[in-house]
Structure 1
Amino acid sequence: MYDVFSLPDFSFPKGFLWGSASAGHQVEGDNIHSDAWYQEQKDKREEPSGKACDNWRLFREDAQLVASLGHHAYRYSVEWSRVEPEEGRFDRSALDHYKEMSELFKQLGIKTFVTLNHFTVPQWFAAKGGFWKRENLPYFLRYAEEVVKTLAGLADFYLVINESTHTRIDTQLGFNHLVAHAKTYRLIKSLCDVPVSSAHMATQTFPYRYYDELDRIMAAYRDFQYNGCFLHAIATGELVSPFGEAEECPELKGAADYWAVNLYTRELIDSRRKDLSASRFPHKKLRMIDKDFYLEEMYPEGMTAMLERFRDKPIYITENGCSCNDDRFRIVYLALYLSAVHDALKRGMDVRGYLYWSLMDNYEWSSFLPRFGLVNVDFKTFERTPKPSAAFYREIIENNGFSQEILRKYLHELPTLETIQ
């Protein structure tokens, strides 16, 4: 554990954008035409998404909630399966829903980051092979054009795709995602002058045995799969992968107006394992919920280190958050990771905003147990209750920085895992 009570005060540049994030399938509920919904039913999961947070019905109240917490920005995703539930049939009422939501945020003075694809796609598109087939990309472009025209003058930022292939990019699916990004970037820029990017999962790889030569080599290899392929593609227009044929995609070169960085923790690389994945070091593992979960470590120094990879463009942190049952851990997490962001600023990184993941507890793809939210959700009544971390974050926003005075109002002692075990 880090001693947050010894952290020095720090502040952020004037105009720094503070906010939170969400994803449609995880909060809206009843996303019945999506591939994710289909898979949940097929697998007969104990916890399908169901109503999720019932945000589709409660989006007006949720917009007011975002405003009440002092956020300047909010990231949400448009669900393609709602907009085009059947191939070629666009649902105008769904488009109007997203338009009304965007108008409401505009009226509240909250800037919006609109994600066009946050993992889920319509079931009909998945049945055609989805993004695995390059010939399917025109379907996505057609959908993107409908959304961008509907939200004309309302969206402040666009994110084409969230976390291509969920970190590993050097696959056919990853390459197709990058080509889709490039074509959609060019399409959006032809329709409006809104900044465009795609949210990249910046995973730092760390050798399990730090001075072991093979662990170091495989950590570098995995780093290229996670980060280097993406950065190289945007810089040069070349899709390159170890042990694969390179491709040229001129539309990719420069196809990002800013870096959208999702960052949580590092991955330990063990060259003695076939999947290269090592367990957390026991002295670092934090089991903060009542189940094993892949985000069981606080590693804020990874934030400072990874942001240095993105020094050539403005940076917005579009996801960063902590899953825990004891909200005190979230306060510690915010203090540490924001300190790391501040360190990156001191090193010359052009970080312009931070969106906490997530606004509220939601459906975490297979379970409701992981709790990332600043706001508690009762999944039976759908009542929203802001946690102490939401008030802590609001004061940081109001002061555009961290201070011990703010911290000590909300945290009186360091939390312990003793009550969770």
Structure 2
Amino acid sequence: MINILEYDDIEFPQDFLWGATTAGQQVEGNNNSFYDDEEICPKTAYGGVPYLKAGKACNSYEMYQEDIQLLKQMNLNTYRMSLEWSRIEPVEGVFNEKEIQHYKDVLKALKEANIKVCLTLHHNSHPVWFHKKKAFETMENLPYFLRYVKKVVPELDEYVDYWLTLNEMNIIFEYTIEESINMLQYHAKAYHMIKKYSSKPVSCPINYAEKKPMRGTNDLPDRIMAEYIDYMENEFMFHAIRTGEIVVPFHDVVKMKELKDTCDFWSVNVYTRQLINSRKKVFRFDRYEASSIHALDVPYFSDDICPEVIYHCLTRLKDKPVLISENGIACKNDEYRIVYIASILQAVKQAMDDGVKVLGYLHWSLLDNWEWGTYVPTFGLASVDHTTYQRKLKPSAYFYGDITKNGKMTKEIIRKHYNHL
């Protein structure tokens, strides 16, 4: 285990964004998206366990004021949340003004609490009718997405500080590469639509997982596969947004001038590394037993604490400011989360010292939420009783809150909250 008691004191800029993140489908409850539709929703969740629908999730639709109070208790100045398109346009072409007003009420409450808003237009979920039209599998559905963007941006822009378009469209084991190519074009069109109504910065969250050859760089098959997968999931996205060229193997290049520079800042969701084992058909989920912390009863993707990943990610993105829009760990023992946050912030500060303009750090997640078919992975700074929906901040939340209150992480703060495992 990393000894965080030996860390040097570090300090962050006064305008640094300290926050937490949620997604509507995972916390609001009763969204009626395709994830809730009996005919469409998946049959299994992560790890092959039976799929559990979200139901009321964390009941944040009704309890958003309680969530805002959690943010205030942790001295956070920024909140990333998402709109639920399935609420706003439940029937094709029919917008629900009551639901738009609901989101206005939430955003107004955040502003009254002096909390900046980072608002995601699409965080993995969408209406059933859009899904039945094959969603992002075809460019023919672009007008539907733009109609939604055109509706909500002018209505909500006065309450928003940062806009995010499509969440994690680069994960090729979630989307096909054809869908990712399409979604880049959806993002570009949405970017320019947003700019018609807003002067706020716009980006799209890219999931960054470092690809490492399982047997090291001297093993040619592992190294080549790691480099290939890194390009297919990380670099092709960065290249496309930097140049306007979508270049992937086995596809003709898609040149789209409108795509170039459609991220005013890089938005990255960073959790862990993936060890690429070329000897396996399922090649990305191996772990070194020596470094795996078994944070949950069942293996999960965040069972490593490897802060160098976020350093490598950030130093790869020196050409624009960077917002860490998600970062966290699912664990039963909350002290792992204290170690995780401390180690990640050390790596973030080192990257900043090496010339990366980091706008802020938004922790995933505010709550122990629904994780795409299960409640087992607990990422939250606050626990949630999914019967009463009572929230309770964890010790790691008070640790994080002390850091954000002071704008620095010191040995004194670490000793106050960390009991060595």
Same fold (TM over 0.5): yes
Q: Counterparts of 1:70 and 1:152 in 2: how far apart (Å)?
A: 24
Q: Counterparts of 1:43 and 1:278 in 2: how far apart (Å)?
A: 21
- Unpaired runs of 5+ residues, structure 2, are 45-49
Amino acid at match of 1:78: L
Amino acid at match of 2:328: G
Equivalent residues in 2 for 1:330-341, closer than 5 Å: 330-341=337-348
Q: Is the 8 A contact 1:203 1:267 kept in 2?
A: yes
1:190 aligned partner: 196
Amino acid at match of 1:108: A
Please state whether the residue corresponding to 1:303 is helix, strand or coil.
helix
1:180 to 153, 172, 186: 186
Amino acid at match of 1:360: L
The offset of 1:46, in angstroms, is: 5.4
Amino acid at match of 1:15: D
Equivalent residues in 2 for 1:303-342, closer than 5 Å: 303-342=310-349
2:294 aligned partner: 287
Q: Counterparts of 1:175 and 1:328 in 2: how far apart (Å)?
A: 40
Q: Counterparts of 2:252 and 2:100 in 1: how far apart (Å)?
A: 40
User: Is 1:84 paired with 2:89?
Assistant: yes
Q: Counterparts of 1:208 and 1:344 in 2: how far apart (Å)?
A: 25
Q: Counterparts of 2:134 and 2:170 in 1: how far apart (Å)?
A: 14
Q: Counterparts of 1:61 and 1:140 in 2: how far apart (Å)?
A: 31
2:126 to 114, 121, 127: 121
2:77 to 72, 94, 115: 72
User: Is 1:35 paired with 2:34?
Assistant: yes
Q: Is the 8 A contact 1:170 1:229 kept in 2?
A: no
Q: Counterparts of 1:370 and 1:322 in 2: how far apart (Å)?
A: 9
1:199 aligned partner: 205
Q: Counterparts of 1:182 and 1:13 in 2: how far apart (Å)?
A: 31
Normalising by structure 1, we get a TM-score of 0.95
The offset of 1:217, in angstroms, is: 1.2
User: Is 1:212 paired with 2:249?
Assistant: no
Amino acid at match of 1:216: R
1:145 aligned partner: 150
- Farther off after superposition, 355-364 or 36-45: 36-45
1:256 aligned partner: 263
1:417 aligned partner: none
Q: Is the 8 A contact 2:211 2:274 kept in 1?
A: yes
Alpha-carbon RMSD across the aligned residues, in angstroms, is 1.4
CA deviations 1:179-238 (Å, max 9, x no partner) are: 000000000011110100000111110001111112111111011011111011011101
Distance 1:42 1:163, change over 3 A: closer
Distance 1:335 1:266, change over 3 A: same
1:11 aligned partner: 11
Q: Counterparts of 2:305 and 2:127 in 1: how far apart (Å)?
A: 35
Distance 1:345 1:293, change over 3 A: same
Q: Is the 8 A contact 1:203 1:265 kept in 2?
A: yes
CA deviations 1:363-420 (Å, max 9, x no partner) are: 0111111111111100000001111111100100011111111111111212xxxxxx
Please state whether the residue corresponding to 2:361 is helix, strand or coil.
strand
Distance 1:43 1:207, change over 3 A: closer
Equivalent residues in 2 for 1:93-108, closer than 5 Å: 93-108=98-113
Q: Counterparts of 2:5 and 2:338 in 1: how far apart (Å)?
A: 12
Q: Is the 8 A contact 1:266 1:302 kept in 2?
A: yes
1:370 to 373, 377, 383: 377
Q: Counterparts of 2:42 and 2:342 in 1: how far apart (Å)?
A: 41
Q: Is the 8 A contact 1:35 1:126 kept in 2?
A: yes
The offset of 1:337, in angstroms, is: 0.4
Q: Counterparts of 1:98 and 1:319 in 2: how far apart (Å)?
A: 22
2:248 aligned partner: 241
- Unpaired runs of 5+ residues, structure 1, are 415-421
Please state whether the residue corresponding to 1:286 is helix, strand or coil.
coil
Amino acid at match of 1:5: L
Q: Counterparts of 1:306 and 1:201 in 2: how far apart (Å)?
A: 10
Amino acid at match of 1:87: E
Runs of 4+ in 1 over 6 A off after TM superposition: none
Q: Kindly, what percent of the aligned residue pairs are identical?
A: 41
Amino acid at match of 1:382: Y
